[in-house]
Amino acid sequence: MEHEHSILYGPVNALWHSVQHRFAWDIPEHVIMALLVLVISAIIFPIFASRIDRDHPGPFQHTLEATVAALKDLLRDIIGHEGDRYIYIIGAFTVFIFIANIFGLFFFLQPPTSNTNTTFALSISAFLYYNYEGIRRQGLGHYLKHFMGPVWWLAPLMFPIELIGNFARILSLGVRLFGNIFGEHTATGIFVGLVPFVVPWPMMGLGIFGAFLQTFVFIMLTMVYISGAIAAEEH
């Protein structure tokens, strides 16, 4: 928590430097941690999926079924009847961001989302995805037309403002996730440096709550942006 590097930074970089001598730089912390998130989710979920039991579901199965049902309900609420096809991308964001945020609670790991590189990668991916969906559904011309606003004579004013607002979504999604996780991680680290025993617990509780909340807000906003991008055909 107050450590600067996770437990994997030393070994992975020792391996990296022993295997190749062309690049002198170290693999950065957040890359190692993000790959660890990927490895963990690539191990847990396929093993779990092969053990789904319809008659005697265990607790993990109940939890995941409840999560998937809640995500599908949210998708249907926000996007409408088209919502179910986006469960895969939204589920991917949820799993990655949640596990990444939870890394902040372990003293031997660092959350990859406490680094702007990871959070901007996530927000740029979400941005490209919803624009791609909008362009694919409506065609480029029609998609750009809905930036122009309701009446044609407002278009020179509305178009730059809408365009800037659209690109500002990258910044807002990325900085929100980064600021929350980095701030809570740093504050917990300071508390641990001051009084290592009982005092960090409220901050860590806030960290758990923040991990859930930031995941929820990220996927909620992505869903809202997707619904905004594909919506005009529903008029």
Partner 1 sequence: MNKRIILITAATLLFAASAFAQAPSAGAAGVKWGVISAAFVLGIAAAAGAIGQGWAISSACEGIARNPTAAGAIRLAMIIGLALIESLVIYSLVIAFIIQAK
* Interface positions with partner 1 (CB under 8 A): 172, 175-176, 178-180, 183, 213-214, 216-217, 220
Going 80 to 148 to 134 to 167, the CA torsion angle's sign is negative
CB of 19 to partner 1, least distance (A): 36
CB of 226 to partner 1, least distance (A): 15
Nearer Cβ to partner 1, position 140 or 168? 168
d(CA 98, CA 37): 10
CB of 165 to partner 1, least distance (A): 14
| Tokens read off for 13 | 């970089």
Nearer Cβ to partner 1, position 36 or 174? 174
Half-sphere exposure of residue 34, counting CA atoms within 13 Å on the CB side?
17
Nearer Cβ to partner 1, position 116 or 125? 116
* Helix, strand, or coil (residue 235): coil
Half-sphere exposure of residue 175, counting CA atoms within 13 Å on the CB side?
5
CB of 24 to partner 1, least distance (A): 27
> Which ranges of the chain would DSSP assign to H, the alpha helix?
9-19, 29-49, 59-79, 87-102, 116-138, 140-145, 155-194, 200-230
Nearer Cβ to partner 1, position 149 or 183? 183
Nearer Cβ to partner 1, position 146 or 176? 176
d(CA 186, CA 89): 30
| Tokens read off for 232 | 């005009």
CB of 129 to partner 1, least distance (A): 20
Nearer Cβ to partner 1, position 36 or 181? 181
Q: What's the farthest any 2 CA atoms get from each other in the chain?
A: 64
d(CA 106, CA 25): 26
CB of 185 to partner 1, least distance (A): 13
- DSSP letter at 108 equals T
